Amino acid sequence: MYSQRVYLCIMSRVARRRDLIIEHIAAKRVQNQSQLQELLGQVGIGVTQATLSRDLRAVGAIKSPLGYRLGEPAPERQTAQIASAMSAMAISVVAAHSMVVIRTGPGRAQSLAVEVDRNAIADVVGTLAGDDTIFLATRNPASAKRICLVFRELAQLGGDGS
């Protein structure tokens, strides 16, 4: 298992790589994964074909006859993915200063944390998941309260979570 510092570093590299993939697809015609690997390599990011496939799927890229294009707008896709995961797994969501604490059923915290990480929620700077609890570190207490309210709504929990 990764230490929290290593995990946060890995997740920031994943988010950066996915941001670059989106930028490349939006800015120019990317015909195939080999071309995208080359473009990423030009900025010092080496990536395997398997990882690139996962990244393309995660950012919602669609292969068309003209090359890759971005599918449904990221905020809408992100909301649908998080809403589905939150409603299925979250039992409670509470803001605690600049953190959000999410309780899940036994063994579900890791899966929900992966969805949060995969969707790069604004102002979430890192996640730490155990068996049934997730700690989301946010930029500040206001961010924690905002994220808590949104997650409670998506999980259909009601209340303000403070």
- Asked whether residue 161 is domain-assigned, the answer is no
Count of structural domains within the chain: 2
- Asked whether residue 159 is domain-assigned, the answer is no
In sequence order, which residues have a C-beta less than 8 Å from that of residue 115 and are 6 or more positions away? 81, 82, 85
| Sequential DSSP letters for 111-127 | HHHHHHHHTT-TTEEEE
Residue 39 pLDDT: 93
- Asked whether residue 162 is domain-assigned, the answer is no
Q: What is the pLDDT of residues 102-129, one digit of tens each?
A: 999 999 999 899 888 877 777 888 899 9
Lowest model confidence (mean pLDDT) among 9-13, 40-44, 96-100:
9-13
Q: Does residue 48 sit in the same domain as residue 80? A: no
Q: What is the pLDDT of residues 56-83, one digit of tens each?
A: 888 888 888 888 988 765 556 567 778 8
Q: Does residue 63 sit in the same domain as residue 92? A: no
Bridge partners, 81 (sequence order): none
Rounded to two decimals, what is the model's pTM?
Answer: 0.56
Q: Domain ends where: 71, 89, 118?
A: 71
Dihedral pair phi/psi, residue 119, rounded to 5°:
-100, 5
Q: Does residue 147 sit in the same domain as residue 84? A: yes
Domain limits for position 137: 75-154
The rounded distance, in Å, linking the Cα atoms of 86 and 88 is: 5
Residue 4 pLDDT: 45
Q: Does residue 147 sit in the same domain as residue 93? A: yes
Mean pLDDT (the chain, rounded): 84
Q: Does residue 81 sit in the same domain as residue 146? A: yes
Q: Does residue 66 sit in the same domain as residue 92? A: no
Q: What SS3 state is found at 61?
A: strand
Lowest model confidence (mean pLDDT) among 9-13, 50-54, 59-63, 109-113:
9-13
The rounded distance, in Å, linking the Cα atoms of 113 and 100 is: 12
What element of type H or E holds 132?
none
Residue 58 pLDDT: 80
